[in-house]
Each structure stands twice: as C-alpha cells, then as structure tokens.
Amino acid sequence: MNKKLKFAYGYVLAFASLMIIGYVMFMGLTYLTGGDMMRAAIVTGVFVILLALGCISLQRVKATADHFKRNVGIERVLLPLYAVFCVVAFVPFSHFWTVRAHNDEIVSAFQEAVTASKTMFDEYDDYARQRIDAYRSSLKKSLRSGKQASRGFKANTLGKVSGSDTIMLNNMVRTLQLQLLPAENDSVRSEATEWLSKAEEGSSVWNVFLLGNIRKIQQAVDTWHQTMERAAGSVLSNEELQQDEEATAYKGTQYLTAADKLSQVSARCQKMQFPLPLAWLIGLVCFPLLFLPYLIQERHTKSRETLLGGIGQQTPSDTDHDYDNVHHIVLYNEVSIPKGKAGMHTLTKHEQWRDQLSESDDQYQMIQTLTEEEGMTPDDLLQLLHQDCNLLDAATVKQCIDSGVFSTEQLIQANKFVDGFVDMLGTPMRDVLPTDKHIESLDGVSTEFYFWGIPSSGKTCAIGVVINAAQEGSVAESVKVLGDCQGYDYLSELMSIFTGNRECCVLPGRTPVDANFAMRLNMTDYKGLVHPVTLIDMAGELFCYLYWKENQLTQHFTRQHEKAFESFNNILVGNKTNSRKFHFFIIEYGAEKKKYKGQTQDEYLTCGLRHLEESGVLRDATDGICIIVTKYDHVFTRIQEGEDINNHLSDFLYRNYGGFLTLLRQYCKKYEIAGGFMPDPVPFCIGEVCFKNYCRISTEYAKDIVKIILRESKGFSKGRLARLEAHLRQ
C-alpha cells in the first residue's frame, strides 16, 4: 500500500499497447500524408511521447502523498484531456485499418501499375521499331517510284537505286534509330525492370514503404515517359515528308495506365472514412490499456478526496451496514465554547467529595480522611454511590462492608443497580499475563490501528469489547484471528473475558508497564471484502515516559519504560511498514483532574502527540485519527438537569483537553490527516460497569469502533478480478 507502481505488469501491458498504437499510427499517418514517412514519424513521435507522459502523469497524480485536493483537481482536468487526446490519436490509428480493409484492391492496382510501368519500355520499343520500319519503307518507296528526294537522292532512268543512295538511306535510318533507341536504353530498361520487380515483392498495406515506393515509381515513370516523349518528338526533316504527324506521334498508353493505377492507389490510401468495426475492436483493447497504470494505482490511503468528489471510503451500499453512521460528539469552535449551567456551576460539598474520591489512588484511606476531617457520613457516601456506582472500586466497597461503614443491604437500598454485582465482591481481578510483551516488527500487509492512552484510561477493555462486537456478526460478517502474531496470547485472553453469553464478567487488571501487543485479524464485511487489520495496544506508560523524558524527570524511569519505548521505535520508526496507519486516542471521561505521577491526561497526551509528530509518524505514516471518550456512561452522573449532553461533552473536552485538541487539529491540517480536519470524538462505554471492576458487556458503542475500522481499512476481494488486479500491480 501507498507505493507508486513503477515496473508492475500493468506498466508492461501499457507499454506494449503504446508500441502497437505507435506503429499503427505511423502506418496510418504515412498513408494519410501520401507516403511522407518523415512527417509521419515526427507526428507519431510527438503523439507517443504525449501518450506516455499522460499515462505516467495520471498514475503519479493519483499516487500523490500530499496536497490531495490540488492533485485531485489536476487529475479531474488531466483525465478527460487525456481521453480526448486518445480519441485524436485514434483517427490515424483507425485509418490504417481502413486502408487494410482495401488491401486486395490496393495491391492489385499497385501490381497493375508496376506491370504497366514495365511494359512502357516494350510499348516504346514497338513504337520506335514501327517508326523506323515505316521510315525505311517510305524512303525505299520514294526511291523506287522515281521521286526526286530533296535531300540528295537521285533515281536513274531504270528505277534502280545506286550504291551511294543505299548507303545514304541506311545512314538516314541509322540516324533515326540512334535518336529513338540510343545504346543506353537496354541498360536503363534492365535496371528499371529489376527495380520495379523488387518494389513489387511483398506488396501489402503492412509494408510501410508501399506509398513511398508508389511516389518513387510515379516519379521514375514520369521521367521515363518524358525521356521517351522527347526522343519521339524529334522528327527528321525528310521524315516529315515521308510520314504524316500521326504516324510519328508517341501515344504512351502504358504510361497513362500506370499513372492512373498509381493515382488510384494513392487516393485509396489517403481516403478517410468512418472507422471500421475491426478498428473499434482493436482500439478498444489498446487505448484503455494506456489507462491501466492509472487504474491499478491505489490512491494514497491518507487521501479523503475522490475523482468524483466526496469522501473516499469503502462503505457497503446497503443501509443496514452503514459504516459512516456512528455516534459522535460535535465539537464547537474552541473560541466560542457554549457556556451553560456546567460552565457556571459551583460544586456542592457532595460533588467535591465525589471528585476527591475519583482522583484518589487509595480510596478507602480517602473515605477515612473525609469522614474525620470534613464530616462525611456513611449516608453521604451511600448517596454518592446512589448517584454513581462506579465511584468506588470493588476492593474499596468490600473494605467498607467488612469494616462496617455500610452494609450490603444499605448498599443495595441506596442503588438497586448494584444488586446483581454485590455477590461478586471479593472476586479477584483478572490479570492479563502475555507471554511476549516486546515487538520487534509487524509482519504482513494490513491496516494498523494503534490505541493510545495513559494508564487506567480503559484502553484494554475497549479493545476487548471491540473484538467482541466484531465477532457478533452485526457489523462485520465474520472475524478470523491469525495465530502468527506477537499478541496472539493476549488476544486470546481478552476474547475469553469479553466474549460469550455470561451475565457479567470481571474486567482485566492493569497490563504490565512495558506491554505492547500486536493482534492480527481478518474482518470480512457484508460486501465480501476481507480487511486484514492489526490492532496494536500500546503501553499506557509510553506517553508518560515521553513526558518524563522531555522534562528530564528521570526519577520515574525504569527499564520497563525503556523497553516499551523500544517497541514504539521498532514498529513506528525503525522497522515501520508501508501499511496504512490509524490512531485511536483514548480520553477517560471523569479523570480530567486525576493525576498520574504528578501530571494530567492532557499533559501526557499532548506530549505524546508532539513526539509522534517529531518522529515523523504523523507526517509519513498516518492516514486517520479518532478520539475515543471512554466511560461515557459516567456522563449521566455528572450532567446537570436540562443541560445538553453534547454541549456538556464539548465543553468538557475543550476545558480539560484544549492543548491536546488544538495541537491535534493543527497536525491534521498540516499533514492532511483525515482530509485535513480533526474528526469529531466518538463516545464509548463497554456496558453496565459496577464498582469499576465488574461489567455486563454491551457492544452498542463498540460497534461504532468496528465500523470505523472497516471504513478506514483496506478491503480485498477474493474474486478472480481482484486476483488479476493484484497480479497487475506486481
């Protein structure tokens, strides 16, 4: 993917077609110009060069890796112009096939012309001999009749010719003979006959020299005829007395026949007519092949422009599987963020306690502190749990029950929703223990989807539910897990947690600090296209490490962090593939103020994004991005009565992640990612979560991520036409 084809089979076919077109055009132009091969060669050369340049230019413009809008505009102009130019080139191309259709007629007329040209000499010889014989006879007759010749002839009284008169008669005949039949006539005749015979050999319209030979024969015949006419036009003075003018005239019948036949051939070769079916058939094979490099060249995956306009996406045609129809959060302009009740709201005491508990790393200790220092009662805590059952994690709830802060019955009475989960309290968290956490490189042709987020942002759970949604069959027709990938064991464990018909599941715990996993899947959409995808779960601590490294906070560094960074460099910098890349950035709703090792999500995400840009990942390898707002279900515990949920989320994102969003928007525009515009964030939740650790899985929002994956990934057909197309690209 994302490579400009250079020596593919498609180019070989286009080049072969261009050579055929060039040769046939040259033949057609040679006939149109009456055999002017030099002019035909020059015009053909210009056409071939322009056809080749157009073919290459169309393919290169389509394969461009930047300035997509401008280049698609050029493509929209160049493509019809090239098509028109091909139509113009088709005119001389088709003319040859018109000439070829009259091959027998042309060859027959040409051969008749050659035959007539040869017999010109015989005709002239016959004429000369007849004239000489007539001259001799007339001289003898005049002498015998006793007529007095005015040029020195004398007759005696007996009517006999004297010896001197005989000599003089022979001299006069000899003079006429030398005039009409000079000595070089035989050699000229022999050379001309031999030359004409060679010109006649292999006479066919496929012989590009046919018309050139006709022109040369015409010139030679004219020269020979003029020579014969000059010789025949000279009449001896006493010959005028012996013969009338008609007897001495040379008619040149064979010359007229040859000239007429040669003119017929030239006229037939130059006469244009509507293209014949054979010309259309061959033209419709050869000329479309010139477009083959353009057709088999894939548009750069980063481009959102198409030839006919709109967004270039692989969306199924039926509305039941519309991959564009996803939930999204409409972001308002950052300089005019709507200020509703959320913007002016003053936090109550309960809301302050809620935030303190949410941001605490040791929630049970925080409960004790709030109880002792701020007078928070068990009823206050139960009221907070009534509003949000995910305020406390399962371990903290278990501690509260065991220590008597509140009872199980009080908890269920405060929030009926937890009734199905309290029996699971004490169930140990599931650890994801992969066998290989280090990635050297990515193998295979696929679209790579990277999931970025800080620790505890819900990234691992999101990937697990997305895989579950893909396997359900409502968005993707089928999913095949490929076992030859580094993250196969990790993927298998996620599937064991999130798939199946269990009432609820225990969510996985935090993955190791240096854990990076690459999971390969083949997703088949409802058009039958197979989408090879690689889901890469990047270590949450990676963005943290980048921030610490940039700010020289070396006290946080560990060897595990460095190993996570090595995997990043391996797959995105050092050993990066040519596959298209898409980045999901995970933002955890409700954790905007929560600090991890002293910094917020926004600080880590902004620094990580900046490093992706500096390392060239966004410039060279990123086709699209998407912001996923996880734990979307928590919104309903924080939104004020009457407040618009979209306004709330837009305000939330800009207030707490303004630096990250602003930088991301700039990079999208700078590197033409996602068409140059930052897409709207996508809300996400994994289902009904309770006590942060237990969940009834729901794939409603995960299906949106599957749609995005199918929409943004390259789909391959399994049909014969697709295989042929793949071979042409090789």
CA atoms of 528 and 476, how far apart (whole Å): 10
**pLDDT level of residue 149 (50, 70, 90 thresholds):** very low
Q: How big is the CA angle at 271 (ends 270 and 276), to the nearest 5 degrees?
A: 115
3-state secondary structure of 487: coil
Tokens of 431: 């650890």
Strand partners, 481: 521
Tokens of 632: 């979307």
User: Which contiguous run of DSSP H or E holds residue 88?
Assistant: helix 68-101
pLDDT > 60? residue 435:
no
Q: What mean pLDDT, rounded, does the chain reach?
A: 80
Phi, psi torsion values for 682, nearest 5 degrees: -115, 125
Distance separating alpha carbons of residues 549 and 597, to the nearest angstrom? 13
Sorting pLDDT into bands at 50, 70 and 90, what band is 583? very high
Half-sphere exposure for 177 (CA within 13 Å, toward CB): 12
- Residues 339-360 have pLDDT tens digits of 444 444 567 888 888 888 887 8
Tokens of 513: 């600090």
CATH 3.40.50.300 placement within the chain? 447-716
Q: Which amino acid is at 10?
A: G
How many other CB atoms are there within 10 angstroms of residue 545's CB atom? 26
CA nearest neighbour of 338 among 593, 645, 57, 45: 645
Cα 68 to Cα 61, 83, 303, 309, 480, distances in angstroms: 9, 22, 6, 12, 34
Residue position matching structure tokens 């000229």: 188
**pLDDT tens digits, residue range 632-672?**
888 887 777 777 888 888 888 888 898 899 999 999 888 88
Query: 142 CB contacts (<8 Å, ≥6 apart)?
Result: 149, 153, 242
Asked whether the CA dihedral 442, 448, 453, 458 is positive or negative, the reply is: negative
- Distance CA(207)–CA(205), nearest Å, equals 5
pLDDT over 60 at 585, yes or no: yes
How far apart are alpha carbons 683 and 630 in whole angstroms? 6
| Distances in whole angstroms, Cα of residue 639 to Cα of each of 175, 388, 634, 636, 645 | 130, 12, 9, 6, 7
What is the rounded CA–CA span in Å between residue 504 and residue 687? Answer: 10
E strand or H helix that includes residue 479: strand 478-481
Give the tens place of pLDDT for each residue, 9-39.
Answer: 778 888 999 999 999 999 889 888 887 888 9
Q: What percent of the chain has pLDDT over 90?
A: 12
Torsion of CA 232, 237, 242, 247, to 10 degrees: 20
Residue 572: DSSP 8-state: I
Q: Average pLDDT, stretch 270-282?
A: 88
Query: Do 465 and 500 contact (CB within 8 A), yes or no?
Result: no
In this predicted structure, the answer to whether residue 117 has a pLDDT above a threshold of 60 is yes
pLDDT attached to residue 52: 92
Give 163's pLDDT tier (boundaries 50, 70, 90): low
Q: Return phi, psi of residue 517, to 5°.
A: -130, 135
Mean pLDDT to the nearest integer, 401-411: 88
Statement: the pTM of the whole predicted model exceeds 0.75? no
CATH architecture entry for 447-716: 3-Layer(aba) Sandwich (3.40)
pLDDT of residue 142: 74
Q: How far is 546 from 538, CA to CA, in rounded Å? A: 13
